[in-house]
């Protein structure tokens, strides 16, 4: 009979498909449940990291299907590699920004986050594992590539037998040399937020008849939202929708956007619309902001945050700089220029912001895919963004729509839309990108759809902190009518490929700031489809989704 806690080695065959994407390794649950699949990937992480003896590790995630089994497996491998403390949340749930905070606050060697972010959950859904470094930020590409290289050579892994871990209540438990701490991460997170925002003013705002609706989509943020909005800000319990975390997210696609959360758009357009409507995603790092009659574009949201940052207690000291991903609209650039602070343009992927944050070069950052955050953490933070907007409403005492309209009146409007084309054949998608990229230089000077192409480039990035290079990060086409098209293949799916086309047109004519989005961007969408010959390569005549 095997003894508890006794390290042993298990022989296996390496898997060759464990290359992490922009935010860790994401696969179908069925892939992770293959014999030794998760174990070999975790072994590759530990072999690559070579953590110091007696390290602490944060382990947890969004509570999706297979999470509890994964935490048990990880703990058994971790103790075999000398980890002496694991910190997790109740039922193993940790929102991604809360996990990042715990890593930094507890001085952990890093964190293993079990999430596939906004992807669907359940037995037929997706699962994911990503490693965050001791800074709390996502692992850099050099580290994830080293993990991938190790994963291709794994033919044995070290593990041991542990009793079933008690995760249902807070406490500290000892298993041989391993200390397991189950913490109330929602309370820890709320304490941090109280240091950034004016809770007294927000309590007064909500107590004077203004209403909030926050949809947790049966994902990880339900307990966090209840702690922050109900217990600490005095909002009624029924302001939190779909608050109970479920392994399959209750059938929701936990992605806060107007397609997958169309019911919130309907609420915003109804006579019963609350003053602020918001949602977060599976692991709590994305956000959607709505007010009566409108959804705030994520690109506009981060720009408006910067314009009003001095009104929020945690940012009255000033903003050193800001950053956005390359496909994100240039609305943030306009505000940064007016404040005479730098605005960095990075590739898609939150990890590219982490070096800038760690070096103190930026205090605010955002991306078009509904992610926004600041120097308070090293991950994007959905609830933080909602609190920022709630603090603005409490300060300005204006409706969301008036705040947005005032911003456009001052800085102009960047009409913006992302069109997604889901392509089952990955090779066809890659061929489209390759052919378009090869012909970029020849596009300059061409007249297309009533405008002249002035610039066409394949975006490459040199990190200003560590001077690492990232090439082929998206194709950008700029035109003489203040419009821009960006083409990029997404790295967050688990099947096929998604071609993402980002459409942006800047208008600074007061009489044209309220034109319908679709009408304004339709000619640019036609231009984008023609330039890339989308139907020729994919057979698709229209996008799968427009966000």
Q: What is the CATH number of the domain that holds 459?
A: 3.30.310.50
**Domain tally for the chain?**
3
Same domain for 165 and 23, yes or no, is: yes
Taking only the tens place, the pLDDT of each residue in 209-243 is 999 999 999 999 999 999 999 999 999 999 999 99
Q: Is residue 79 scored above 70 in pLDDT?
A: yes
What band does 426 get if pLDDT is binned at 50, 70 and 90?
Answer: confident
Determine the pLDDT at residue 494: 58
Domain boundary among 131, 160, 183: 183
What band does 522 get if pLDDT is binned at 50, 70 and 90?
Answer: very high
Same domain for 326 and 193, yes or no, is: yes
Structure tokens at 14: 């390496």
Determine the pLDDT at residue 13: 95
Domain boundary among 155, 183, 211: 183
Determine the pLDDT at residue 493: 55
Name the DSSP class of 339: H
What band does 197 get if pLDDT is binned at 50, 70 and 90?
Answer: very high
Determine the pLDDT at residue 21: 82
Taking only the tens place, the pLDDT of each residue in 3-59 is 778 899 999 999 999 999 877 999 999 999 999 999 999 999 999 999 988 899 999
Same domain for 273 and 398, yes or no, is: yes
Determine the pLDDT at residue 448: 83
Give Cα separations from 404 to 303, 337, 385, 475 (angstroms): 10, 19, 15, 29
The set of residues, in sequence order, having a beta carbon less than 8 Å from that of 334 and lying 6+ positions away, is: 303, 411, 412, 414
pLDDT averaged over the chain?
A: 95
Arithmetic mean of pLDDT, 368-392: 97
Cα distance between residue 127 and residue 114, in whole Å? 7
Q: Please report whether residue 2 resides in a domain.
A: no
What band does 178 get if pLDDT is binned at 50, 70 and 90?
Answer: very high
pTM of the predicted protein model: 0.95
Determine the pLDDT at residue 496: 76
Q: Please report whether residue 312 resides in a domain.
A: yes
Q: Please report whether residue 253 resides in a domain.
A: yes
Which are the catalytic amino acids? 117
What band does 486 get if pLDDT is binned at 50, 70 and 90?
Answer: very high
CB 415: neighbour CB atoms within 10 A?
23
Arithmetic mean of pLDDT, 542-546: 90
Determine the pLDDT at residue 23: 78
Same domain for 307 and 211, yes or no, is: yes
Arithmetic mean of pLDDT, 154-166: 96
Cα distance between residue 62 and residue 92, in whole Å? 8
Determine the pLDDT at residue 523: 93
Determine the pLDDT at residue 6: 87
For residues 126 and 24, is the Cβ–Cβ distance under 8 A?
no
Cα-Cα-Cα-Cα dihedral sign, residues 96, 97, 100, 106: negative
Same domain for 119 and 215, yes or no, is: no
Same domain for 325 and 460, yes or no, is: no
Q: Please report whether residue 1 resides in a domain.
A: no
Q: Is residue 1 scored above 60 in pLDDT?
A: no
201 burial level (CB within 10 Å; 0-12, 13-18, 19+)? middle
Q: Please report whether residue 86 resides in a domain.
A: yes
Same domain for 66 and 192, yes or no, is: no
Give Cα separations from 96 to 183, 243, 361, 491 (angstroms): 15, 17, 23, 19
Q: Is residue 363 scored above 90 in pLDDT?
A: yes
Please, which residues bridge with residue 300 across strands? none
Q: Please report whether residue 406 resides in a domain.
A: yes
Task: Pick the closest to residue 162 from 93, 59, 74 (CA basis).
Answer: 74
Cα distance between residue 175 and residue 173, in whole Å? 7
Q: Please report whether residue 3 resides in a domain.
A: no
Q: Please report whether residue 200 resides in a domain.
A: yes
Q: Where are the beta strands (DSSP E) in 368-507?
A: 371-374, 413-423, 447-448, 451-458, 461-462, 469-470, 475-479, 483-489, 497-507
102 burial level (CB within 10 Å; 0-12, 13-18, 19+)? buried
Cα-Cα-Cα-Cα dihedral sign, residues 220, 223, 229, 235: positive
Same domain for 494 and 418, yes or no, is: yes
Which position has the token pair 């930094």?
104
Same domain for 248 and 381, yes or no, is: yes
Task: Pick the closest to residue 89 from 196, 220, 254 (CA basis).
Answer: 220
Q: What is the DSSP string of 188-245?
A: HHHHHHHTTS-HHHHHHHHHTT--EEEE-TTSTHHHHHIIIIIIIT---GGGEES-S-
Determine the pLDDT at residue 225: 98
What is the domain-level CATH number for residue 126?
3.40.120.10
Domain boundary among 127, 154, 183: 183
Q: For the ranges 84-93, 223-232, 488-497, which has the lowest average pLDDT?
A: 488-497
Residue 212 belongs to what domain range? 188-411
Taking only the tens place, the pLDDT of each residue in 297-353 is 999 999 999 999 999 999 999 999 999 999 999 999 999 999 999 999 999 989 899
Arithmetic mean of pLDDT, 372-392: 97
Secondary structure class of 24 (helix, strand, coil): strand
Determine the pLDDT at residue 491: 59
Arithmetic mean of pLDDT, 501-514: 95
Percent of the chain beyond pLDDT 90?
Answer: 91
Same domain for 157 and 60, yes or no, is: yes
Same domain for 211 and 253, yes or no, is: yes
Structure tokens at 234: 């005095």
Same domain for 402 and 417, yes or no, is: no
């Amino acid at each position: 009979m095997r003894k508890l806690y006794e390290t042993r080695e298990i022989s296996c065959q390496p898997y060759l498909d464990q290359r992490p994407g922009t935010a860790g390794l994401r696969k179908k649950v069925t892939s992770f449940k293959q014999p030794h699949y998760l174990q070999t990937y975790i072994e590759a992480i530990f072999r690559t990291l070579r953590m110091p003896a007696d390290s602490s590790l944060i382990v947890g995630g969004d509570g999706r299907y297979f999470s509890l089994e994964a935490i048990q497996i990880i703990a058994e491998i971790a103790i075999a590699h000398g980890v002496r403390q694991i910190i997790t949340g109740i039922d193993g749930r940790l929102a991604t920004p809360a996990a990042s905070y715990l890593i930094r606050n507890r001085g952990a060697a890093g964190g293993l986050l079990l999430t596939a972010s906004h992807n669907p959950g359940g037995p037929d859904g997706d699962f994911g594992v990503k490693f965050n470094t001791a800074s709390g930020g996502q692992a850099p590409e050099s580290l994830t590539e080293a993990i991938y290289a190790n994963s291709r050579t794994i033919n044995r892994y070290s593990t041991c037998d542990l009793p079933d871990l008690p995760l249902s209540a807070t406490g500290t438990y000892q298993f041989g040399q391993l200390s397991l701490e189950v913490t109330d991460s929602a309370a820890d997170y709320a304490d941090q937020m109280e240091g950034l925002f004016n809770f007294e003013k927000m309590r007064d705002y909500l107590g004077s008849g203004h209403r909030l609706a926050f949809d947790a989509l049966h994902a990880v943020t339900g307990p966090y939202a209840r702690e922050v909005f109900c217990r600490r800000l005095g909002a009624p319990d029924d302001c939190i929708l779909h608050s109970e975390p479920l392994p399959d997210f209750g059938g929701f696609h936990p992605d806060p956007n107007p397609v997958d959360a169309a019911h919130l758009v309907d609420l915003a357009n109804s006579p019963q619309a609350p003053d602020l409507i918001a949602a977060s995603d599976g692991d709590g790092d994305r956000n959607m902001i709505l007010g009566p009659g409108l959804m705030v574009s994520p690109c506009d949201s981060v720009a408006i945050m910067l314009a009003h940052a001095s009104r929020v207690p945690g940012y009255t000291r000033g903003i050193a700089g800001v950053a956005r991903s390359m496909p994100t609209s240039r609305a943030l650039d306009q505000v940064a220029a007016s404040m005479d602070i730098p605005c960095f343009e990075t590739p898609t992927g939150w990890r590219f912001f982490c070096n800038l944050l760690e070096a103190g070069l930026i205090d605010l950052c955002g991306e078009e895919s509904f992610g926004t955050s600041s120097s308070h953490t090293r991950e994007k933070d959905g609830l933080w963004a909602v609190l920022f907007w709630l603090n603005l409403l409490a300060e300005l005492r204006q409706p969301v729509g008036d705040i947005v309209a005032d911003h456009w009146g001052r800085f102009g409007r960047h009409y913006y839309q992302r069109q997604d084309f889901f392509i089952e054949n990955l090779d066809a998608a890659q061929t489209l990108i390759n052919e378009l990229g090869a012909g970029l230089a020849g596009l300059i000077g061409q007249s297309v759809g009533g405008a002249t192409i002035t610039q066409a480039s394949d975006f490459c990035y040199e990190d200003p902190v560590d001077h690492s290079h990232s090439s082929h990060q998206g194709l950008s086409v700029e035109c003489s009518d203040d419009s821009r098209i960006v083409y990029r293949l997404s790295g967050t799916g688990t099947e096929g490929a998604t071609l993402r086309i980002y459409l942006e047109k800047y208008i600074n004519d007061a009489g044209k700031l309220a034109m319908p989005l679709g009408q304004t961007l339709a000619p640019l969408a036609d231009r984008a489809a023609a330039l890339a010959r989308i139907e020729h390569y994919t057979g698709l005549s229209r996008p799968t989704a427009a966000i």
